[in-house]
């Protein structure tokens, strides 16, 4: 039993519903569970039929939800560079807003959505408040950028730290020449840039630890979705993320006398067989197609019955 479960896949396959159903099932089994939506197009509140905000909200006993605010990550990241600009100002190096913005985007500037997601992950990965944490990630492209973000941030932060250290050395040299060795700046206090790098490193370590994390790819039994799922699994493995399971959603189980439905079921069966063949080392769970809106406790219970904890 891993502590962290991540759901990913292409848009429109039902990741949020499956994540919410997993959270509901875990909470019903007695685990204090938090479902975290890192998808900028949040729909977690709709799935659980409750108000969910940027702070953890109790949906029902044992089940909590949070929709990560995209602005949170960008504000945290920018604040580091504003503090750096202030330090430069103290050293006699004046920077206007455009120059701060240029410094802020030094290296490779990550998107605010991914920053918010990684910030949300860091917050709840480091918290001991919940027994289990279920992450509903954004569509495939966002998820892959998210997994690359610790190294992207590291490059940007490393650039800023190198520039800062150069300025500090010059300031210390000037102070020493004017006032003697005792005038050197002391840098014994906490370093926010180093703290961020270490925090991102911890997130990366957790995401790659099969004892703590399981990544489940949600898909639907259609040719294009199957191919994208195969590519996603390949990329996740390149990132050394422990992919454990395929969740095939919206599966027709009984087409009855509907000829069109029987035809679609045959296509679905072929797609599922393709997944079983190409990704035979992964567990494969099927979730039956649900009629009507898939929201609320009753719908989540039905879906959760086909998902292990």
**Nearest by Cα to 136 from 43, 246, 50:** 43
CATH at residue 203: 3.40.50.300
Maximum C-alpha span of the chain: 92
pLDDT at site 104: 53
Contact 226, 274 (CB under 8 A): yes
Q: How many domains does the chain have?
A: 1
Query: Mean pLDDT, to the nearest integer, of 132-141?
Result: 84
Contact 115, 145 (CB under 8 A): no
- Maximum mean pLDDT: which of 39-43, 204-208, 264-268: 264-268
pLDDT at site 250: 94
Model confidence at 171, in pLDDT bands (50, 70, 90)?
low
Q: Which residues contact 4 (CB under 8 A, 6 or more apart)?
A: 125, 132, 133, 134, 135, 206, 212, 213, 214
Per-residue pLDDT of 97-126, as tens digits, reads 565 556 555 544 455 566 667 777 888 988
Per-residue pLDDT of 233-284, as tens digits, reads 999 999 899 999 999 999 998 877 788 888 999 999 999 999 999 999 999 9
* Parent domain of 241: 4-306
Cα dihedral value 44, 47, 48, 49, nearest 10:
110
Of residues 119 and 202, more confidence is placed in: 202
Entry pTM: 0.81
Phi, psi of 275 (to 5 degrees): -65, -45
């Amino acid at each position: 039993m891993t502590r962290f479960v991540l759901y990913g896949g292409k848009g429109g396959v039902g990741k949020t519903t499956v994540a919410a159903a997993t959270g509901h099932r875990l909470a019903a089994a007695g685990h204090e569970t938090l479902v975290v939506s890192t998808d900028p197009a949040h729909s977690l509140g709709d799935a659980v039929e409750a108000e969910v905000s940027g702070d953890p909200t109790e949906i029902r006993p044992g089940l909590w939800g949070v929709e990560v605010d995209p602005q949170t990550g960008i504000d945290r990241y920018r604040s580091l560079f504003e503090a750096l600009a202030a330090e430069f100002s103290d050293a006699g190096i004046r920077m206007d807003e455009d120059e701060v913005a240029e410094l802020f985007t030094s290296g490779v500037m990550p998107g605010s959505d991914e920053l918010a997601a990684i910030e949300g992950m860091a917050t709840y990965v480091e918290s001991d408040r919940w027994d289990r944490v279920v992450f509903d990630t954004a569509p495939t492209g966002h998820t892959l950028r998210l997994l690359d973000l610790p190294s992207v941030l590291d490059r940007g932060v490393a650039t800023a730290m190198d520039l800062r250290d150069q300025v500090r050395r010059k300031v210390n040299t000037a102070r020493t020449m004017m006032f003697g060795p005792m005038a050197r700046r002391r840098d014994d206090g906490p370093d926010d840039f180093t703290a961020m790098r270490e925090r991102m490193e911890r997130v990366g370590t957790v995401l790659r630890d099969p004892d703590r994390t399981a990544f489940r790819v949600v898909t639907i039994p259609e040719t294009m979705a199957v191919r994208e799922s195969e590519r996603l699994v390949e990329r996740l493995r390149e990132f050394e993320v422990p992919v454990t399971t395929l969740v095939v959603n919206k599966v027709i189980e009984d087409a009855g006398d509907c000829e069109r439905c029987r035809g679609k079921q045959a296509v679905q069966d072929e797609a599922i067989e393709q997944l079983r063949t190409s990704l035979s080392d992964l567990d494969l769970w099927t979730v039956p197609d649900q009629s009507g809106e898939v929201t609320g406790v009753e719908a989540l219970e039905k879906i959760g019955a086909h998902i292990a904890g």
